[in-house]
Structure 1
Amino acid sequence: MIYFTSDLHLGHRAVIYMQNRPFADENEMNRTIIANYNAVVHKNDTVYILGDIAHRIKAEETNELISKLNGKKYLLKGNHDKKYDPSLFEEIRDFMTIVYKGQSISLMHYPMLSWPKSHYGSIMLHGHMHNDESYNLENRKEGILRYDVGVDANGFYPVSVEQIIEFFGLKTQ
């Protein structure tokens, strides 16, 4: 299966208060986000992490946390991402487009107003904004195929490609 997530902000104490995350401290947040991630993502799954894995902790500590995450990981760099161990990822990029069962999907940390094939039914997945679920619901209502895969908008879990396609009511090949 293919999954997407963003804005884990592992180790970042202040994000708990800034985003009103329901955790006592960064250790509880780290444990919960990693446990939720691994509850749905298995060893052979593919995960696109759309940036901001961690913030305010050393790269070595972040690498240790990343190594606990299941799956074949691709990183789409966010504004808080540092130089992580590249061996932890299949690939590290700023922008990527994938196709799943004929459905084009653009991936980037930042939301885009227009993206490749946006006028032909392509989906744009992003993070960065720390929205709640109402953002995705509003985009769907307005007919905008843009979805925030960040943990704040998705109950602190990754989202599968199938969930996103179903959310927008799209048909695949």
Structure 2
Amino acid sequence: MIFFTSDLHFGHEHIIQFSHRPFRNVTEMNRQLISNYNAVVQPEDTVYLLGDLSFQISVEKANALIAQLNGKKHLILGNHDKSYAPELFEEILIYRDLREMQKWWVLMHYPLLEWRRERHGAIHLHGHIHSKGLDNNLSNLQKGIRRYDVGVDANGYYPVAMSTILDFFQLFTLQIS
């Protein structure tokens, strides 16, 4: 399977208050995010991490946490990312076009106003904005915008499967038509 996530912010104590995360401290947050991730992502799965994996911790500590995550990891760099150990990832990029499940996917840490193949059905996946729940994704969909926030804050602190995103667009498009 293919999964997406972003904005884990391992080691970032202040993200708990900033994003109203339900954790007592950064140790609990790091542990729970890894547990949630590994509960859905298997070692043979592919995961696109759309940036901001860590903040305010050493590269060594960040690498140790990232190494605990299952799957074949592809990193799309975010504004807080460091020089992580390259062997932890299949690739490290700033932007990625992906063709999967008969769709084009545009991957970047930041939400874009326009993207390649947008008028031909491409779906843009991003993080960065720390939206809560599906409200932002539903709002975009109601406006006819195929942009989806894959950040942990928007997805119950779990990675989201590509098939789930496709179902979201198909189900809610039918409801608002």
Shorter-chain TM band: over 0.9
Q: How many angstroms apart in 2 are the aligned matches of 1:21 and 1:161?
A: 24
Residue 2 of structure 1 deviates from its aligned partner by 0.1
Alignment root-mean-square deviation, CA: 0.8
Residue 143 of structure 1 deviates from its aligned partner by 1.3
Given the two structures, how large is their TM-score scaled by the length of structure 1? Answer: 0.97
**Pair 1:161 & 2:162 matched:** yes
Aligned to 1:150: 151
Query: What is the one-letter code of the residue matched to 1:36?
Result: N
Q: How many angstroms apart in 2 are the aligned matches of 1:117 and 1:3?
A: 21
- Specify every segment of 5 or more residues in structure 2 that has no aligned partner in the other structure, as ranges: 172-177
Which has the larger displacement, 82-91 or 138-147?
Answer: 138-147
Residue 100 of structure 1 deviates from its aligned partner by 0.9
Alignment of 1:89-108 (within 5 A): 89-108=89-108
Q: How many angstroms apart in 1 are the aligned matches of 2:125 and 2:63?
A: 24
Moved over 6 A (4+): none
**Pair 1:34 & 2:34 matched:** yes
Q: Secondary structure at the match of 2:170?
A: coil
Percent identity, aligned pairs only, is 54
Aligned to 2:136: 135
Residue 141 of structure 1 deviates from its aligned partner by 1.4
Deviations 1:81-105 (Å, cap 9, x if unpaired)?
0000000000000000101121000
Deviations 1:114-135 (Å, cap 9, x if unpaired)?
1110011100000000011210
Q: How many angstroms apart in 2 are the aligned matches of 1:97 and 1:41?
A: 22
Residue 30 of structure 1 deviates from its aligned partner by 0.4
Query: What is the one-letter code of the residue matched to 2:120?
Result: Y
- Specify every segment of 5 or more residues in structure 1 that has no aligned partner in the other structure, as ranges: none
Aligned to 1:46: 46
Q: For this pair of structures, how many residues does the alignment match?
A: 170
Q: How many angstroms apart in 1 are the aligned matches of 2:138 and 2:51?
A: 22
**Pair 1:115 & 2:115 matched:** yes
